Structure 1
Amino acid sequence: MASASIPGLFHQVLGNFSVEDGVYHDDKRMRHIFVDPDDDLRGTNLQEGIEDYNPDTRPTSGQGELQPMTSLLEWMRRHQADLEEHDILQISDNGRDRRLDIDFFGQRGVFCRLLRAVETPDRMEILVTLCNGTYYMETFKVKPTSAVDANYCFKNFERHLTLVEGAHPDINLPEDSYYSAVMKTQCERYKLILSYGVDAERDNPDLVPPGNYIDIKTRYQINSEQNKNNFRRYTTLKWWSQAVIAGIPEVICGWRENKKEQVILSSVELMKTEHLPLRAPMMSSGRRFWEADACFETFQTLLDNIKDLIKEDDPRIVHRLELPEVMKGKGVKKRLQARRFKLLEKRQDDYAILPEWYLREVLWIENRESKQ
């Protein structure tokens, strides 16, 4: 499936899986079917029942929580025949092991952050392992400590928009319960495999995934010029990067506001992913604050950068890469465009991106001493 607005960007959903209470299931039990909202939904108290809510309170460390790819790798192990059929899993030139005909491999989060790096001055650290020609990447997800109310409002809004196996989803499902897609993405010269949580699907036989996927969001109603600027400059970029890299054509937003000590759903807005760049404000230069073509240009450059920095093809070496913070102020755009990764010291602990069972069963790599 080609993106309607980005030349050279193509998506193909390879399969799906569910994770329930942290347990992998090779099925669609956590699939959410989208239900078009009606007018009666406006005015809903999105905090109703919050006193009984049990949020996931797992601690984080460093700059956030490391997002391992265990479930994605498990899907790869169970679907080797499908990967061979799509000519993704191939015999290596040496004839002794196998390789993926894929350049970069990871969860959606790492690719989203690279996609918006040209407009995001924050520091970014990623972990990378090069194995049989494929770069496996992980990143850190910052988990806000004060986002319980916002997370509950999102779950409540989602509950009103979706059905799971014919019933409303449980609002108290923990963070480690979700439904995911596994996707191959062609981004100009690079082939990617990524996985991501699917918020909802339209139950329409005429739409082929990801064309029937929908991202669900909630946000406080814009009530000031500053809020408007923040939404148009930063939120639209974040939502666009998450949707476009996964080929998701629509984003639905529940706008909420405070009324009489309640958080009320004031309106619902359906946004086309391809139109989100048009909501970025125009600057005096005649260009918008952020633009899709600039994001993809820098995205490709950073992928080139990763390949230039990491040459050691060893599944048991975990490299640390840092994209330094950029100081704001005059000339920030040029500094962001020129920013590149720095190679930090390799991880010295026993952490590995690729578990031994994946190396052995999928890539046919036997346990052997590291080249490190």
Structure 2
Amino acid sequence: MERPPLNRNLAGFGTTVFAEMSALAQRTGAINLGQGFPDTDGPEAVREAAVRALRDGRGNQYPPGPGVPELRRAVADHQHRWYGTEYDPDSEVLVTAGATEAIAAALLALVEPGDEVIALEPYYDSYAACIAMAGGTRVPVTLRPSDGAFVLDPDELRAAVTPRTRLILLNTPHNPTGTVLTREELAVVATIAQEHDLLVVTDEVYEHLVFEGEHVPLASLPGMRERTVTISSAGKTFSFTGWKIGWITGPPELVTAVRTAKQFLTYVSGGPFQYAVAEALRLPGSYFRGFLEDLRGKRDLLATGLAEAGFGVFRPQGTYFVTADIRPLGRTNGVAFCRALPERVGVVAIPNAVFYDHADAGAPFVRFAFCKRPEVLAEAVARLKAL
């Protein structure tokens, strides 16, 4: 064939780095601190809620397109309980097949060919692919290391806006850097969005995984509710990543637009799991606090171990990833480093460079996940010290 089979918008998007590194882990028997999924299940009560829904025949057939009413109400109640924001569960909440589908549906619905989408880099890899599938142009704004964290330069964000800018795609708490944008930084984003009449899509899946500072939904700031699509999911908060239950909240016209695209992707998914997640969102505050403190201990275990192994360490404010600098080890190429690491010491990490357009800016950084059992993290640290 003269024309390649793959849609030209997806040229350059091969197998994801997560698949490559997970395959390396399987082949070598290495400890996989690359892909961000826990190695233990979430609360037994939530799992039993899914079993109960299955046995009761709730969700075994197609659930309603927007999501089961119980979950939509639980999402709306969750937003009010934690952030004081009000959403109508019938017109302002949409259930999706995880946050990944929510991102895809939002970008396919809101972006047209030629539109520019500003995204903070490093960015989760699906952002780039979804912008490309929508025919948009990705405009990266780089979070840069400063005083042990990665920070947003407001002037760089302002300079990225052009007459073609349609949307800002925001992720906080931020994967992979662990940065949690402050209220002041979000106020700058809000001002820019309103001055230029931009839409904002916010990926907030790590909203309950904040160790320092606070999570502030952008939609809660003055003037932002009507122009913001907020995305979250159950996977990270409740440790059931395989269930793929996510949701969006936003004003009716934006939710309707996203639903129009979403209905032609999965249409619906995970019926029994939707009922279980509705119960999960109503768990007492003690669950959320206990989960956070457990992760805090794991963060500190891994971050301290990486520092002792000779890495430069950016202790994350949120998420369950630690970004490490390999330059103190005499290395500068994170991709080569991560490809060799499983054979060298039996540990898998992810090179941050694959999350950048400006690959040089991410070249010396690698990401480790700490959402694993303490004994697994301790063994990984012991192996890494052999470096």
Structure with more of its chain in helix, by fraction = 2
TM over 0.5: no
Q: Larger strand proportion, structure 1 or 2?
A: 1
Give TM-score, length-normalised by structure 2: 0.25
Please give the TM-score of this superposition, normalised by the length of structure 1.
0.26
